[in-house]
């Protein structure tokens, strides 16, 4: 019996090791998102340059075909912390999960309001703006605000409650709100992600609206072939923007470079709007790395 158990465990361990080695040997050369073939064939693709030095506003300016991102402005991040008591969701000790030793200890200390553990809320905000120009004219003016809420748990020294030993931080709520002004109407871009909830994304105008779908799948380039990537991650890898069930634009956050697709049949003004909306999402991603992990 003992020999059979050892053999079974050995085979299981060997299988896991083989899978790990096989995965390690597969070098992911690039990644992107899957697109409708007709949309991809009739779209202009732009490879977006990541800002190498984010401390200067000009780092976010670039040329995308005949369109240019200009007049970029980025504010400093403003953060505040408060102690609201127990936070309703997302904090260790409040989640419904199997009890581990750490969870038990944290539950007990929290319930008894021990000085060893202090829970706080951290809120932050940051603004940015840019223009989308075409042929020397500004077609879209964009102004955005990033806001977020983090749940923060401080573990303190048992002999000195004022000394913080370690800190656990978890993103609870992320929000992006943008005003996009064109010559014909005003648009609002809203992206809201909450912990363990479906993302809410909208692009709405005075007379029209677009649907924005968050993409969580990915394609990976392995040995010069595009294959479906692993499906266990929930992180947003891109977005697809549609109107009347027709794809108008798409954005892939990951890969060697971020990629943006815009339908060629759209007018210059419509393409500029799509570029402005997607570039807002890219700047959001560059300025707040955690919003896609909610």
Query: Which residues, in sequence order, are CB contacts of 160 under 8 Å at separation 6+?
Result: none
Cα–Cα distance for residue pair 290/294, rounded to 1 Å:
7
Render the burial of 29-39: b for 16+ CB within 10 Å, e for the rest: eebbbbbeeeb
- Domain coordinates in residue numbering, the chain: 25-78+131-149+176-293
In angstroms, the CA 81 to CA 153 distance is 11
**d(C-alpha 18, C-alpha 240), whole Å:** 37
Instruction: Indicate the average pLDDT of the chain.
Output: 81
pLDDT band at 157 (very low <50, low <70, confident <90, very high): low
- Residue 78's pLDDT is 87
Segment 49-92, tens digit of pLDDT:
999 877 789 999 999 999 999 999 999 988 888 765 433 333 23
More confident residue, 121 or 238: 238
Q: What does the alpha-carbon distance between residue 49 and residue 45 come to, in Å, rounded to a whole number?
A: 13
- The pLDDT value recorded for residue 158 is 61
5-26 pLDDT, tens digit per residue, is 434 444 544 444 444 444 444 6
Whether 165 contacts 152, CB under 8 Å:
no
- Hey, which bits of the chain come out as E strands? 28-32, 43-47, 62-64, 67-74, 78-82, 117-134, 137-156, 164-181, 186-194, 200-205, 209-215, 219-222, 225-228, 238-243, 246-252, 259-263
For the ranges 120-124, 190-194, 218-222, 271-275, the maximum mean pLDDT occurs at 271-275
Cβ–Cβ < 8 Å for 188, 163: no
pTM for the model stands at 0.78
């Amino acid at each position: 019996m003992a020999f059979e158990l050892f053999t079974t465990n050995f085979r299981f361990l060997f299988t896991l090791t083989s899978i790990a080695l096989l995965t390690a040997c597969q070098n992911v050369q690039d990644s992107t998102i899957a697109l409708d073939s007709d949309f991809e064939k009739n779209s202009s693709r732009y490879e977006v340059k990541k800002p190498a030095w984010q401390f200067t506003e000009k780092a976010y300016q670039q040329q995308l075909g005949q369109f240019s991102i200009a007049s970029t402005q980025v504010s400093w991040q403003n953060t505040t912390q408060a102690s609201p008591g127990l936070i309703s969701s997302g904090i260790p000790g409040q989640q419904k999960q199997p009890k581990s030793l750490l969870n038990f200890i944290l539950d007990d200390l929290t319930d008894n309001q021990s000085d060893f553990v202090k829970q706080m809320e951290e809120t932050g905000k940051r603004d940015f703006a840019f223009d989308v120009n075409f042929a020397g004219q500004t077609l879209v003016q964009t102004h955005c605000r990033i806001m977020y809420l983090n749940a923060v748990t401080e573990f303190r020294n048992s002999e000195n409650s004022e000394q913080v030993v370690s800190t656990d931080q978890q993103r609870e709520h992320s929000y992006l709100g943008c005003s996009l002004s064109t010559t014909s109407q005003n648009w609002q871009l809203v992206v809201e992600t909450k912990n363990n909830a479906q993302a809410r994304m909208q692009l709405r105008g005075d007379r029209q609206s677009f649907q924005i779908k968050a993409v969580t799948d990915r394609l990976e380039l392995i040995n010069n072939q595009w294959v479906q990537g692993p499906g266990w991650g929930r992180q947003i890898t891109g977005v697809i923007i549609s109107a009347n069930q027709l794809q108008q634009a798409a954005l892939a956050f990951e890969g060697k470079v971020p990629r943006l697709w815009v339908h060629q049949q759209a007018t210059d003004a419509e393409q500029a709007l799509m570029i402005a909306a997607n570039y807002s999402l890219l700047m959001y991603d560059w300025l707040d790395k955690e919003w896609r992990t909610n």
